[in-house]
Structure 1
Amino acid sequence: MDWHTLGSTPFLPPLYWRAALKRKITGSTLPEQGLRCRVRINPNDVAAYRKVCGFADSPILPATYPHILAFGLQMQLLTAKDFPFPLLGLVHLSNRIRIHRPLGGVSELTIGVQACNLQPHSKGATFDLLTTAEDSLGLLWEAESRMLCRGVKLEGEALDNPLPTPTQVSELTRWKAPADIGRRYARVSGDYNPIHLSALTAKLFGFPQAIAHGLWNKAHTLAALGEHLPAANIELHVEFNKPVRLPSEVTLYCSAPGSSGELLLKGTGDLQHMVGKWQPIA
């Protein structure tokens, strides 16, 4: 992997233009370049994020927060000329976070992003968007988001290995996903994908109404689990199934507190929105 280090996080508006203008698949290989940047953590931004995602105040950063720090780098990577797939239309299938040490006392991180692991899929092709966060001691946090691009033709067998639906889980809590949560989450995350903002903009992309961001669903779930989970040496893996249409109410089911367990996020009429598990890092 060839790394390009940026002096500051990318300015988002031009990247949105680039994303809006690119509608065609232009290749079937991923670029061999990753992006890196040092990022300062702004306590006011973290506080605003906590409020939108339901996290209690804490000296420990929310487990999903480094994704927010990485968003500009991810946008720059995924809208670059040599990136083969259009950003609008990518489907976020799953997200796996590994927290190596507690995310406390952190004021500055080096964030890295890269795309790798291009694989055939029954509906096109998937790739992993890898994100890392390092502090002065080394690797602190890492994540992989599996993205689907429909309509890509690749040689080889499609390997789909979904997480089984958890059975040993009980209801923990429920919450409402209000009609404006896509806009509120966009303001704290920078992710203004039209499918999340309003019914009007979602209809342009074939959705009858706006849907919640997958990472908002995951963040709100981790906020609800709170002390249920270890603060470090933990891998948190979720798969996004049916989208959460806005507005709606969801119910979180999970296993007992401990170093490993399972979770399930359901909507009305038994709709399965998200399945997940947590365990120590292998």
Structure 2
Amino acid sequence: MSVNWLDLSNPPHLPTLYAHAAAKRKITGNTLPEQGLRCWVLVEAKPLAAFRGVCGLAPGPLLPPTWPQVLAFGLQMQLLTDKHFPFPLLGLIHLTNRIRVLRPLGGVTQLRIGVFVHNLQKHPKGATFDVVTQVDDLIGPLWEADSTLLCKGVELSGDVPQPGTQQPVAMSELTRWFAPANIGRRYARVSGDYNPIHLSAASARLFGLPSAIAHGLWLEARALAALDSHLPKANVELSVAFKKPVRLPSEVILLSSAAGSSGDFQLNGHGDLVHMTGNWRPIS
């Protein structure tokens, strides 16, 4: 698609954007804006080290594959709280996330990040759309991702797209870890994502949840950290689908099946509760 880019001189100011998000509670339309946002950002050592610590990532010369998404968070917030964006940010549900690492994420100190939205689709509960993030270094395209979000209550014409079917894959337990009650606040400090549903039981109850739930992107980063020795460092697509939320605190179990340059994984709770499914594949 053709994107009308608006280039920013500085990354957005998150506290102001949270105020805009809190003020907008109604659906105001059913078409997506065509404007995207771009900005150069610095890769700073201290925030990166804090992110590695919260996500269980070992120090290394390459950026974690989910780190560019953290750097893009402010731009995504500005795009989704703009007056031309039709849906309220609070209440959007993250369904899937797909990352493509085009080249090794090493030796970079500055990145140009661009974000835009597209692919509005009818859904049984409303409508879905994709937030696309593109990252370039001084050489060219380096990394890209798209996240599918659901907005309940949107009315669109047409038929609901039918999801494809997947054959079950045999997997065995790789590791397990405990997600403590404060992990939402800890991840918020390194990612900027202060959604109330993640911060405490009290703030989550304001949105109809019995307890705080873990950030989906923290679960993804933590799982990829455990899978690091199996994952290619470039020319790889990493995909996850978020299923049942992880209520805090709780223990989760990571299952995996690796086969060369491809593999599958799944994050379970106890009693065969599936929280997240995922895979990695070479970019075709």
Per the shorter chain, which TM-score range?
over 0.9
Whole-angstrom CA distance in 2 between matches of 1:243 and 1:160: 23
Partner of 2:81: 79
Identity percentage over the alignment? Answer: 63
Q: How does 1:3-82 map to 2 (within 5 A)?
A: 3-82=5-84
Give the 3-state SS of the residue equivalent to 1:255 in structure 2: strand
Does the 8 Å contact 1:195/1:201 carry over to 2? yes
Residue identity matched to 1:101: R
Q: CA deviation at 1:52?
A: 0.3
Give the 3-state SS of the residue equivalent to 1:51 in structure 2: helix
TM-score by length of 2: 0.98
Partner of 1:237: 239
Q: How does 1:177-192 map to 2 (within 5 A)?
A: 177-192=179-194
Residue identity matched to 1:59: P
Give the 3-state SS of the residue equivalent to 2:239 in structure 1: strand
Give the total of aligned pairs: 282
Q: 1:85 to 1:150 in 2, by over 3 A?
A: same
Whole-angstrom CA distance in 2 between matches of 1:203 and 1:162: 34
Does the 8 Å contact 1:264/1:272 carry over to 2? yes
Give the 3-state SS of the residue equivalent to 2:72 in structure 1: helix
Q: How does 1:83-94 map to 2 (within 5 A)?
A: 83-94=85-96
Partner of 2:268: 266
TM-score by length of 1: 0.98
User: Following superposition, which runs of at least 4 residues in structure 1 exceed 3 angstroms of deviation?
Assistant: 162-166
Q: Which of 155, 158, 182 is residue 157 of structure 2 equivalent to?
A: 155
Q: Which of 176, 181, 201 is residue 178 of structure 2 equivalent to?
A: 176
Give the 3-state SS of the residue equivalent to 1:256 in structure 2: strand
Does the 8 Å contact 1:4/1:34 carry over to 2? yes
Give the 3-state SS of the residue equivalent to 1:268 in structure 2: coil
Does the 8 Å contact 1:166/1:264 carry over to 2? no
Residue identity matched to 2:93: V
Q: Which of 213, 222, 225 is residue 223 of structure 1 equivalent to?
A: 225
- Give unpaired runs (5+ residues) of structure 2: none
Partner of 1:145: 147
Whole-angstrom CA distance in 1 between matches of 2:138 and 2:165: 35
Does the 8 Å contact 1:264/1:274 carry over to 2? yes
Whole-angstrom CA distance in 2 between matches of 1:163 and 1:13: 41
Q: CA deviation at 1:136?
A: 1.3
Does the 8 Å contact 1:196/1:202 carry over to 2? yes
Whole-angstrom CA distance in 2 between matches of 1:165 and 1:203: 37
Whole-angstrom CA distance in 2 between matches of 1:74 and 1:133: 13
Q: CA deviation at 1:87?
A: 0.1
Map Cα deviations across residues 8-42 of structure 1 (whole Å, 9 max, x no partner): 00011110000001000000000010000000010
- Give unpaired runs (5+ residues) of structure 1: none
C-alpha root-mean-square deviation of aligned residues, in Å?
A: 1.0
